[in-house]
Structure 1
Amino acid sequence: MKYLISIISLLFLHQITFAQEKDIYKKYGIEVNTLQPGLNVGDIAPQFTGVDQNGNPIQLSELLKKGPVVVNFFRGSWCPSCYKHLKSLRDSLDEINATGATLVMISPEEQNSLNDFATKKEFTFSMISDKDLSIMNGYKVTFEVTEKYQKKIKTFLFTDIAANNAIKQAALPVPATFIIGTDGTIIAKQYDPQYSNRMSPTEIINALNQE
């Protein structure tokens, strides 16, 4: 009887926790039933190709021949938290490069907007527009944005998320970082739907130094 009561209590607590998580996720603009879980450490990183803001062809398989690759997903140039994180990576780029790693940024935003953003903010690392969300979906970081949050971004950041994206849909990535070893395996990651939480340059460098 005590065992049954314990099981019921645990299930009840799980339901409460899940309901709380749903409320938190909605606060961050996430349609909960569309939220992808992100790949895990030990998974094989999906290959991708693209063209960055400098017109350079980017192919993950080629980058891995030179060393590990840090793949960072961000929401767009309109996102203050994203800019803050990208700035910290820019300011630590020499230390990241010293590990032999390459840093690649992925966003659903139109390439022209990313190009302007990179030029204005002096970002020299590659920034790729995920035009059809295939890279985001491959790494399982995509979610659909709630209408309430879309209205909030329009009001306070003057950005129409769907119009800003190359695919013209209101879909975003969970801001996530995947560090990929030269064998193509994910050796470290940071994934958090609460978009203000990011992998710091120090954490990235420490993970790379353990490669």
Structure 2
Amino acid sequence: MKYIILSLLLSVSTFVFSQEKDIYKKYGIEVETLQPGLKVGDFAPDFEGVDQNGKTRKLSEMIKEGPVVVNFFRGSWCPSCYKHLKSIRDSLEYITATGAQVIMVSPEEKESLDAFAKKKNFTFPMITDQDLGIMNSYKVTFQVTEKYQKKIKTFMFTDIAANNAIKQASLPVPATYIIGQDQKIIAMQYDPKYSNRMSPTAIINALNQE
């Protein structure tokens, strides 16, 4: 009986994983390359970059002033990303009222990212991660399927690899990490289904509990 139950559990597990794999492929993810993301309580790796205003931003310096909200997004071509960035922009005064700062990270090529930030009036720092170093350190990177790349070229008129100025088309899972002054993650949202994001309300609630 024990072996029958174990066999059934393994079958169910295999079926669920297979379904999950198919869902992830729908979102353009080469499943074998998908990184698992960092967790609450993990140490947040330090990083730095130059924002759209030419100012160098370094996490370990920013957290001296208060918590930092680090958001990874796919690029200016992504409607879901724009929608989320706009919601953060529209709620920014409430987020910063908690004493926190916000920084956005994308693999998009810097010139394009800077132009996007200025065009959409995003005043929070936005930095590029073209070598994927920040994304890899936070374990949010995945390689994009050929099928999805073709879809984005057709409907968004964007070549992901060219847009990021890299050979291999890679993107981050849209993830948000709230980092405390001890440089540990106090709250997070990580979901390969790119339309699911951490809302401004959830960010503010997490910051107020800190």
- TM-score (norm: length of structure 2): 0.99
Name the CA distance, whole Å, in 2 between partners of 1:52 and 1:17.
41
Query: 2:104: which partner in 1?
Result: 105
Query: 1:144: which partner in 2?
Result: 143
1:167 Cα deviation (Å)? Answer: 3.0
Name the CA distance, whole Å, in 2 between partners of 1:13 and 1:113.
45
1:41 aligns to what SS in structure 2?
coil
Q: Which stretches of structure 1, 4 residues or longer, exceed 4 Å deviation after superposition?
A: none
Does residue 187 in structure 1 map to residue 186 in structure 2? yes
Query: 2:164: which partner in 1?
Result: 165
Structure 1 residues without counterparts, runs of 5 or longer: none
Assess if the C-alpha contact under 8 Å between 1:176 and 1:189 holds in 2. Answer: yes
Give 1:27's aligned amino acid: K
1:166 Cα deviation (Å)? Answer: 3.5
Equivalent positions of 1:123-134 (< 5 A) are: 123-134=122-133
Determine what percentage of the aligned residue pairs are the same residue: 74
Give 1:205's aligned amino acid: I
1:132 aligns to what SS in structure 2?
coil
Equivalent positions of 1:12-51 (< 5 A) are: 12-51=11-50
Name the CA distance, whole Å, in 2 between partners of 1:71 and 1:168.
26
For each residue in 1:128-173, what CA deviation from the matched residue of structure 2 results, as whole angstroms up to 9, or x when unmatched?
A: 0002100000000000000000000000000000000033430000
Query: 1:90: which partner in 2?
Result: 89
For each residue in 1:180-207, what CA deviation from the matched residue of structure 2 results, as whole angstroms up to 9, or x when unmatched?
A: 0000000000000000000000000000
Query: 1:65: which partner in 2?
Result: 64
1:102 Cα deviation (Å)? Answer: 0.6
For each residue in 1:39-92, what CA deviation from the matched residue of structure 2 results, as whole angstroms up to 9, or x when unmatched?
A: 000000000011000001000000000000000000000000000000000000
Query: 1:55: which partner in 2?
Result: 54
Name the CA distance, whole Å, in 1 between partners of 2:12 and 2:202.
33
Assess if the C-alpha contact under 8 Å between 1:65 and 1:182 holds in 2. Answer: yes
Name the CA distance, whole Å, in 1 between partners of 2:166 and 2:125.
20
- TM-score (norm: length of structure 1): 0.98
Give 1:180's aligned amino acid: I
Structure 2 residues without counterparts, runs of 5 or longer: none
